[in-house]
C-alpha cells in the first residue's frame, strides 16, 4: 500500500511582500526515503548542514565563501533537482496577490472568518493534493507536514481541524494528519523552500535566475487566487455566517 505524504513551505510572508505563496511536494512515503538519501548526500559532499534557498541566492551563511563560483553552484543545485526528479514527487504551488487579498478581505470581521492569506493558500494546497490523489487512484488519507515558522500556524491548524472533523470533506479530499516541522531537520521541507522561493521571485519578475530557476521547469500543479475568486469567497462567507 502506497501512502502519500506532502511537505509544504511558504514564501512572501514579510509585510511588504506583493505575493504570498505556499508550495509543496506530494509523494509516496517510500519515494521520500530515496529522496532524503540523495538530498542529504548532496549536502554532505559540500559540507552543508541544510539548504535554505534565500541564503544560497544571497551568498549568506554556508554559501558565503562560494562567491560566484558558477560551476559549483550549478552542480550543487543540479544534484538537488535530480533528487526531486528521481523521487517522482508532484510539485504544487498556490499564490495570493496581497493587494487583492487586502482589498477584498480587509481586516476585521470578514478576515477573521475567512482566514489569513497563508491559511487560504494552505487550505488550497490540501484541496489540490486531495484532488490529484483521487484522480490518480489513491484512497488513503494524506499526511501533511508544514514548516513550523509561520505566524498563522495555529489559525491553519484550527482550519485543518474543522475539515478533519467534517467526515464528508475529510474523505472527499483525503485529509490526513497535520504536523509542523523544522526545515533544518526535514529534507523535503528544504525542497519546498526552494520551490517557494523561486515561485515568489518569478512572480516578482525575477525570471533570469541561475541555477535555482530550473526548478520552475518541473511539471507542477499551480493555482493563483484571482480577484473575482477572493471577492466571491469573502461575500459568500459573510452571507453564510451572519
Q: Could you read off the pLDDT of 87-109 as tens digits, one per residue?
A: 999 999 999 999 999 999 999 98
Q: How confident is the model at residue 237 (pLDDT cuts 50, 70, 90)?
A: low
Q: What is the residue extent of each domain of the chain?
A: 4-241
Contacts for 42 with CB less than 8 Å, ≥ 6 apart: 76, 79, 80, 83
Beta bridge partners of 142: 175
Chain Cα centroid distance, residue 152:
15
CATH class name, domain 4-241: alpha beta
Task: Find where cell 475567512 sits.
Answer: 114
Lowest mean pLDDT among 4-18, 79-93, 100-114, 227-241: 227-241
Element (H, E) at 142: strand 142-147
Instruction: Give SS3 for 15.
Output: coil
- Per-residue pLDDT reduced to its tens digit, 39-64: 999 999 999 999 999 999 999 999 99
Q: Is 164 left (phi over 0), alpha (psi -120 to 50) or beta?
A: alpha
Q: Identify the residue with better confidence: 149 or 223.
A: 223
Q: Is the pLDDT of residue 1 over 70?
A: no
Amino acid at each position: 500500500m502506497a501512502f502519500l505524504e506532502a511537505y509544504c513551505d511558504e514564501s512572501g510572508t514579510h509585510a511588504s511582500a506583493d505575493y504570498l505563496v505556499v508550495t509543496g511536494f506530494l509523494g509516496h512515503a517510500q519515494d521520500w526515503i530515496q529522496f532524503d538519501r540523495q538530498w542529504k548526500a548532496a549536502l554532505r559532499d559540500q559540507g552543508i548542514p541544510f539548504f535554505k534557498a534565500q541564503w544560497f541566492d544571497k551568498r549568506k551563511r554556508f554559501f558565503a565563501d562560494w562567491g560566484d563560483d558558477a560551476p559549483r553552484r550549478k552542480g550543487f543545485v543540479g544534484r538537488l533537482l535530480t533528487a526531486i526528479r528521481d523521487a517522482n514527487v508532484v510539485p504544487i504551488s498556490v499564490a495570493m496577490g496581497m493587494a487583492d487579498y487586502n482589498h477584498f478581505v480587509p481586516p476585521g470581521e470578514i478576515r477573521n472568518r475567512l482566514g489569513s492569506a497563508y491559511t487560504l493558500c494552505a487550505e488550497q494546497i490540501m484541496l489540490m493534493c486531495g484532488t490529484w490523489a483521487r484522480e490518480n487512484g489513491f484512497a488513503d488519507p494524506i499526511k501533511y507536514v508544514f514548516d513550523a515558522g509561520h505566524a498563522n500556524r495555529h489559525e491553519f491548524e484550527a482550519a485543518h481541524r474543522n475539515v478533519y472533523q467534517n467526515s464528508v470533506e475529510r474523505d472527499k479530499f483525503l485529509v490526513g494528519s497535520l504536523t509542523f516541522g523544522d526545515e533544518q531537520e526535514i529534507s523535503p521541507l528544504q525542497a519546498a523552500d526552494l520551490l517557494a522561493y523561486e515561485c515568489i521571485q518569478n512572480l516578482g519578475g525575477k525570471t533570469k535566475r541561475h541555477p535555482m530557476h530550473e526548478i520552475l521547469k518541473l511539471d507542477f500543479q499551480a493555482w493563483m487566487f484571482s480577484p473575482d475568486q477572493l471577492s466571491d469567497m469573502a461575500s459568500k462567507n459573510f452571507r453564510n455566517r451572519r
